[in-house]
Structure 1
């Protein structure tokens, strides 16, 4: 907001002599890109999200925030627009943007969230504490020990090691190494790599395709919670039966035991209601997963090592011996194998808006 010039107010010297004051002078405000005056002529508003800057004396809003690095000097970043970081994002810091995030260096055990694409030109070392959440696609060189959620595709040019990944479309690892080792990876459509698992074994690699990863996760959580409720209900029934038998024999119970009996009965009704509600949600999720059109495929150009578990639409194909140049898919309620097919996703185009 521009503060208008005001009239000067006269004063006095230490000796009481009157001093005339100068009136304030109006200073014109120059506007740059993406800003405009309101009707009052003094309020300046941004026409789009971004960073407020003074460029050549003009008030400007830049939709892109440029940083050398994210560390103790910059602090955490939360920006309405696109963020470009030339260097690294150090451990313990977060970068959140409503646009894209482009990181020229590496990422540590950090939180990276964008409504658009995330492009990381080097690697990610999550140390099982970091998290990446992407509204579109993630493009990265390699990732180690990181939790990743993407709304579209995850594309890596080197490797994914011990990662927990959920992708609503595809996971594609390509390049000379193109290896997936360890971790749990979910993709609705395809998971593609050159090598899956490890030659020495010891690390379990689990790939799941043909399911909605969020719905599958929610279903698993509900089934686990319902199992806990069933056990609690069994214990309640035993306690209630014991107290009711005592009541039949004695014709009445002490006040504390009677109060406890009523409390147990109330809790039993609560559990039954909660379990019924969970059952409805479980049925709905199971129906959604059955109707899912994406059949899902795992495509491995090179070797799939023993110890790898591949779930295609919840049907397990466990690898016991080395499998080469193979496509794992689902047909007629069975997990099947065929010759290797190239990925459907064309990774040569690169991220949206990039060469």
Structure 2
């Protein structure tokens, strides 16, 4: 019978175990001499009496004989899952004949393909202080350091009113119309940093994310300095903001707009101290009205701000429209519409967001559209919200349409702008090809009066093309910002923080939802199954940062 069937010697976790199974009467038995011979070959230091006890028991189980006598160090190397660090555990031999060296540890690390970030001091300490049975870090990668975002310092505000240093801010939320002089430094720019890549202990690169540049650009009557670290005023006037651009504009102040003034058109900021009467139009870069606006027409490439009400007016703004109330009006704003009290029976279209930030405000009747977010305290007649529950009518009490999502017309306009920019740029390059040879000829040989006139004409046409490209690029940049937010909000969300009355229709990404019963505090958003509703308080906190917080 083979010896493997008569007995078994095993070493488990540094312990020598012996198994002698029971034998049948008359069958071949394990030889104690054979067992001792095998133990001798294994260089095991054991107590003979203990071996005899195991031999005579013949239980068939593995029994402990002694500890294994090792003469060499065991190096246990463990990598973390993300390969960011290596830990070494040193298990000393029973009898230390050859001391452990740094070279031995380095060789063991090399076998594991560990070359980067080795901590030499830790290895020396483990050897000199005989740190055994205690896993210690002997190599680590470098954690990537992401770049810092760029930011700007608002130099035209008093230090106490400036946003905290190093923070990102929305230029639309900064007070404007401060008087500035030529050469005044308006904005100080701080560039984003690239960051530093990291690496694993096996040498793999862990890329760092670069910081994002802060986006603010000089507009009309402003420029960058040569180092592009400051935006500087090139004209006396009042500060004005349009999207991410900062300009300096002239200001025209009128007491009121009526028969005494007629229509008002001014290439700058128009400030009306009183009211705008019916049947008059006002056009400017920005319009500020301290009173009310009647059945008139307002048009601005920037913001239009009305301290009181807009009643029966047609208002078009390239920026935002801010008013106390809107009644029976048509409002179209490329950016935001903000109303503090109510919107009644009006058609309002905001390219970005439509917001009534007050608790007492409401909307009733008409069509309210926004590219991304609508926030309303209440929808429906205010008297319905003051009724007792048993007095609430079951029939629709309002005829209000709420709609979010970028319209097909806006998307088509965006694509058309892209095509126009490319076409205008190609024409601009063609004009340059005409101008440069004539300009070089003028420097070397001089030009005839006819050629000089042609050079001037070509230069003027090229200048017009460059201005057109600049203006269209501003529109593209603004629309891309809105499109990016639209992806974030999955097509748009309607937040009702108070109550909403039956009869309200809600469209999200052209999917319709009809409100059939009085409901309170709901958010309406798009999913694969159409328009879904959820408690407003569970969602709104994540989107408040996209709504403007205007200065008082």
TM-score, normalised by the number of residues in structure 1:
0.58
What displacement does 1:333 show? 4.0
Q: Distance in 1 between matches of 2:341 and 2:377?
A: 10
Residue in 2 aligned with 1:204? 399
1:349 and 2:536 equivalent?
Answer: no
Q: Distance in 1 between matches of 2:304 and 2:297?
A: 12
What displacement does 1:213 show? 6.8
TM-score, normalised by the number of residues in structure 2:
0.38
Q: Distance in 2 between matches of 1:217 and 1:90?
A: 36
Say what the alpha-carbon RMSD is for the aligned residues: 2.8
Residue in 2 aligned with 1:74? 261
Higher Rg of the two aligned structures: 2
Q: Distance in 2 between matches of 1:165 and 1:205?
A: 12
Number of residue pairs the alignment of both structures matches: 223
Residue in 2 aligned with 1:329? 525
Q: What are the ranges of 5 or more consecutive residues in structure 1 without an aligned counterpart?
A: 1-32, 35-46, 52-60, 219-288
Equivalent residues in 2 for 1:204-283, closer than 5 Å: 204-212=399-407, 214-215=409-410
Q: 1:116 to 1:348 in 2, by over 3 A?
A: closer
1:125 and 2:311 equivalent?
Answer: yes
Residue pair 1:65, 1:81 contacting (<8 A) in 2 also: yes
What displacement does 1:175 show? 1.6
Higher relative CO (CA 8 A, sep ≥ 6), structure 1 or 2?
A: 1
Candidates 298, 302, 324, aligned match of 2:494? 298
Residue pair 2:366, 2:399 contacting (<8 A) in 1 also: yes
Map Cα deviations across residues 196-237 of structure 1 (whole Å, 9 max, x no partner): 12336454100111232744999xxxxxxxxxxxxxxxxxxx
Equivalent residues in 2 for 1:32-51, closer than 5 Å: none
1:160 and 2:347 equivalent?
Answer: no
Residue pair 2:353, 2:547 contacting (<8 A) in 1 also: no
Q: 1:311 to 1:184 in 2, by over 3 A?
A: same
Q: 1:208 to 1:102 in 2, by over 3 A?
A: same
Q: 1:213 to 1:104 in 2, by over 3 A?
A: farther
Q: 1:348 to 1:309 in 2, by over 3 A?
A: closer
Q: Distance in 2 between matches of 1:124 and 1:214?
A: 26
Residue in 2 aligned with 1:190? 373
Residue pair 1:105, 1:123 contacting (<8 A) in 2 also: yes
Candidates 535, 538, 548, aligned match of 1:339? 535
Residue pair 1:49, 1:81 contacting (<8 A) in 2 also: no
Q: Distance in 1 between matches of 2:249 and 2:348?
A: 33
Residue pair 1:49, 1:63 contacting (<8 A) in 2 also: yes
